[in-house]
Structure 1
Amino acid sequence: MSAPTAVRWSHVGLNCRDQAATEEFYTRWFGFRRARVVEADGVRVIFLRGGDVYLELFATDAEPLFRTTDDGPAHPGTARHLAFQVDDVDAFLADASGRLPISLGPLEFGDFIPGWKTVWVTDPDGVVIEVSQGYTDQTAQELAAYR
């Protein structure tokens, strides 16, 4: 029997009404940088890279299927939100100086994970983004209780 094929995370493809505005948003607030632009048959796709994570931006004129709120849509088959870690949610929000639309929070979840705090913001197309601090995995012993 052969070894399983190695699988690595590749990217998230986002539809956006204004590629330039969406690129500027993820570049400014989350440190992404343009990695590649592909143009074929009148279609332009912009790849942004943040560390080992890629976002693939597709332009669209389509209307949103629904309005996103709180921590994201609960519709099956849709992503609820994207998520990023920061060292300090309050400092992140202070740097934003009110320029990011907050959909929920900030909320403290210290009862579940000490130091865990989260705020949800939206990108130019309404994609909900969780920005949190303090998340840690459970230990193997803690996880065993759920088996």
Structure 2
Amino acid sequence: MLKLNKIHHIAIICSDYQKSKHFYSEILDFKILLEAYREERQSYKLDLEVGNQYQIELFSFPEPPARPSRPEAAGLRHLAFEVDDIDEAISHIKAFGIVIEPVRIDEFTGKRFTFFADPDGLPLELYEK
């Protein structure tokens, strides 16, 4: 029987490394664990800690293809982050000039959630605990 323990990491490829590094480490406040430039691949790899548990690997590659569509393309639909106070999180993110959709209510759980996008348009969700 296969036993998967947890999600180990989430890999994201960005088009502008410095812009995405700033977004994830300064705006979303993810802690930088390790940053490396891989000369042979002309690629940065930035390991970010999320809530003392999960890790995002942010990659840059020369001229990556654009994401096919938002968010209903086959594959990853969006990445959701749990927050204690959605209003506080929205205020923090909006202070950086980032557009956030109106808050909605999950019809199954009654919890509040909203969406915004990273610098490459990857849909990100805030989901209130």
For residue 26 of structure 1, report the CA deviation from its aligned partner.
Answer: 1.5
% identical aligned pairs: 22
TM-score, length-scaled by structure 2? 0.80
For residue 7 of structure 1, report the CA deviation from its aligned partner.
Answer: 3.3
Q: Aligned letter for 1:121?
A: F
For residue 75 of structure 1, report the CA deviation from its aligned partner.
Answer: 2.2
TM-score, length-scaled by structure 1? 0.72
Equivalent position SS for 1:105: coil
Higher relative contact order (CA 8 A, sep 6+): 2
Distance in 2 separating the partners of 1:5 and 1:91 = 37
Aligned partner of 1:66 in structure 2 is 68
Write the mapping of 1:9-20 to structure 2, written as runs, cut at 5 A: 9-20=7-18
Q: Aligned letter for 2:44?
A: R
Aligned residues: 124
Write the mapping of 1:39-50 to structure 2, written as runs, cut at 5 A: 39-40=37-38, 41=40, 42-50=42-50
Larger radius of gyration: 1
Q: Aligned letter for 1:85?
A: E
Q: Give a deviation string over 1:12-70, Cα, whole Å, max 9, x none.
A: 111101112112111233331111123331332111112211111111312413242xx
Equivalent position SS for 2:88: helix
Equivalent position SS for 2:103: strand
Distance 1:8 1:117, change over 3 A: closer
Deviates more, 1:3-12 or 1:90-99: 3-12
Q: Is the 8 A contact 1:67 1:126 kept in 2?
A: no
* Structure 2 unaligned regions, length at least 5: none
Q: Is the 8 A contact 1:121 1:129 kept in 2?
A: yes
Q: CA RMSD in A?
A: 2.2
* Structure 1 unaligned regions, length at least 5: 135-147
Write the mapping of 1:70-85 to structure 2, written as runs, cut at 5 A: 73-76=71-74, 78-85=75-82
